[in-house]
A and B are shown apart, each in its own frame.
Chain A
Amino acid sequence: MSASTTAERRVAVGQRRAPSAQSWLRSDRRVGVALLAPAFAAFAVFVFYPLGKVIWLSTQGTDIFGQAAGFVGAKNFVTIFTDPQFGATMLRTGAFCLAVVAGRIVLGLLITIPLTTKLRGIPVFRALLTSPMVVSVSAASVAFAAMLAPGNGLVNSVITRFGGSAIPFLTSTQWAFASVIVVTVWGSIGFTVLLMLGAFGAIDHDVVEAAHLDGAGPFRTLWSISLPLVTPTLFFIVVTGAVEGLTTFGQIQILTGGGPANSTTTLVYNIYQSAFGAGSANFGLAAALGVVLFLLVLALSLVQFGVLEKRVNY
C-alpha cells in the first residue's frame, strides 16, 4: 500500500515538472507492482481465497465427509443463532477476552513497575519474569494440566498436605473457566512484561526529573507521567490481548476440552468442535461460525481503533 502511494505522489510531482518523465514513471509503477506481487500473492492464497471459500462454505450443507452438499442459504446461520448454547458461548468468549486483557494489563504493570527500579539483581528478575514467553502454549498447558490434576496433581497434593480439601480446578464448572484464564495470562505475561519494560525504559528522564523537581512523589509520577507516556504500548496490549482472547484454542483443548458441561467452550473452540470434534465434519456450520468470528474480530478492531485510540498519547 505504501509503495503505490509513493508512486502516485511521484506521478503528481512528475506531471508538474516534465512531460518527458511519463515513460520513467510507468516503469516505476511496474517496479511497484512487481514488489507488491509476492505479498499480494501470499495474501491471495492464504487470506482472500480461504475467506471466499469459507463464506461460500457457510451457505452450503455438508455430507458426512465434510464435502459441500448443496446450497442451503442462511440455514447454517439460523442454526447458530437459534441454538440456546450460542448466546452463552458468546458471553463466555467476551468474558474470557476481558479477563485475559485485564489480567495482562494489571499483572503486567504490577510486575513491570518494580522491575524498572535500579536495584541490584533486577536484570535477573527481568529475565526470569519474561521467560514464560519462550514456553509454547501446548507445553505450558500440559504442565499446568499435570499440576492442576484432581487426583495427584502437585497443587492439590500441597493443599491436601496442609489439611485443605482438593480443589477441582479443571473438572468443576466453577473453577475450570478461571483456570484456563490463569494459564492464558501466565502464557502471555512474559511478552507483556517485555513490551512494558521497553515502553517504560523509553520514557524521557528529563520529564521524570522535572516532575521530581516540581515535587511529584513516585506514585504521582507514575500516574501522571509514566502511565500516560506508555499508553501506546498499553493500547497495543489491549488490541493483541483481545484478539488472543477471542482466538485461544490450545489451552482449552489441552486443559478441559471445552468442558465440563461446555463451561470453557469459546467461539473458536466451538468452530473446532463443529469441524473436527470427534467425527463431526460439519464444515458448513463451522464456516458459518468462522464468518461470525471474523466479523466479530473486525468489529472489535474497528471499535478499538475508533474509540480507544483517542485516549492514546503518541
Chain B
Amino acid sequence: MKAKLEVLSKDELDTIYQTALKILEKIGVSIEDEEIIKLLEKNGCKAGSNKIVYFPEKVIDRCLKSTPNRKGETTLCGRDPLKDVVMGDDQKYPYVISHVLMNYFEGLTDTYRTITKEDIRKFVTISDYLDTIDGIWMCTLMPDFKEMYTYCEYELAVRSTTKPVCVSSFEPSAIPPVYDLAAALAGGEEELKKRPLTVAFCEISPLTWNKYGCAMLKATARWGIQPVITVETPMGDTGPATFAGNIAQKIAELLSGLVIVQLLKEGLPVFFVVPLEVFDMRTAQICLASRGDYVWACAVGQLEDYLGIPIISPISPDSKLLDMQEAYELSFSLIPRILGGNKATVIHGLDQTHAINNELLLLMDEMMISVRRMLEGIDVNEETLAFNVLEEVAGKIENDRRSGHFLNQRHTLNWYVREHRPRRDAVIDKYRREKWIENGSKSFVERAHEKILEILKNHKPEPLSKEIESTINAIHKKYNIPDL
C-alpha cells in the first residue's frame, strides 16, 4: 500500500496513549461483576468503592504482551481457509466486511421494511459473490429468532458464504450452539482452537463493563472464542467532544477489555471494533457518518499500527435513501479510512446502522476497486514513463502533421487494464447520452438491481456438507431451534 495519510505525529500518539493509561490508573473502570473484580485485584489492579477498578500500567503491559496477535496477524476464519481475512502488516489491501442489519430498504420502490430470512440469504449470497467483500458481519437482532438470534444469524450466514462470518452478540446463552456449529465447520473442537469463531460485544462508555458485557467476556473465555471488543464513545454524549480526549477514552476502554480477556484466558487473540460517533446536537441522534467520523477515519490506521492490534472501523451513512447524501457519506467515510491505512472496515448500509440494501453492495464494490487502485499509487519506471512509445507515436507524420495515437500501441494494451482497472460489466454508466437513452435511461439503482438479479440467478454459494447438515439438525433439536 503506497499511499498513506498521516494526521497524528508520533509525539501526539504517545501523548494520547499516556492519557489513556492515566485514565485507567486514576479514573478507573466500573465493572459489574464480582468475579472479574477479584481476578483483576489478584493480578495487580486496585478495586475502589462502587465497583471501580484502577489499572496500573504494568498490568496493561503484561496483558498486551500475552495477546498473541499483537504486532502479528489477526485472522477471521471462513468456511474456506483460502477466504480467511488475515489482518497484519503484510496484507495486500484493506478488507471490507458487509454488515447485515435489522431492516431492508427496497431501492427501486424506496420501501423500508423489517428484514426477512430470504433477505439475509440474498445479501450474504451477493457478498459471497463479490471479490471486494471479504467477510460478513451479522447483527440483525431479529425478534423472530427469539432468544437464539446469535445462532440463527450465524447459521443463515454460513449457509450462503464460505467467507468469514462474525457475529455481534448480547446473549451468552446462544454461544453454545454457535460454538457447536463453528466446531463442525472447522472440522472438530481441536481445529476450532486453531481457527476460532469471532464474536463481538460492547463495553459501555464512559468506562463501564456492565453485567451483560462481563457475561460475554466470560463466555468468550469459556468457549475459546476470539473476542472483538467494541467501544462506542459518541462525541459530546458519553465521550468528550474533542478528538484527542475521545480517542484517549476509547483506548482506555479497549485496553480494559483486553486486560480482562487476557486474565480470563491468557493467549486468546483479541481485536477491536471502534466506530466514531458524534452526538448530533441539532437532532439528538448518534451519527456515524459525520464530519467527526471523517477526521477519525484519517487517524484510525495510525492508531491500530500504534497499538499493534487491528481496529475494524465501521462505516454507516445516515441517509434514508440511496441518494446523494448516501453517496457523499459513504465516500467520505471510506476514502480517508483506506488512505489512512485502516486494515479493515465494516460497511453498514443506510439509515444509521438500521438498514441494508443489495444494490448498495455494488456501489461499495465499485468504490473499493477505485480506492484499492488509489492505494497502489503511481509506478515510475522506464516502461511507465513511456518515453519510447511517445517517441514512436509522435514520430508518425502524415501530410506534415503528427497523425499517431496510442490506441494501436502494445504499450496501451499492456498497461490500460493494469493502470485503470476498467470493468466490462460495470454498473457505473459511461455511455454517451444518446446511448444511455437507448439503453432505457436507467439510474444506477436500476442498473444495479438488474445486476443483482443476475448474480442471484447464477451464483450458487458452496452448500454445506451432509455431515454439517446433520450436525445442524442435532443442534436444532438440542437447543429447540426451529429449522431456518
Q: Are these two chains actual partners, yes or no?
A: no
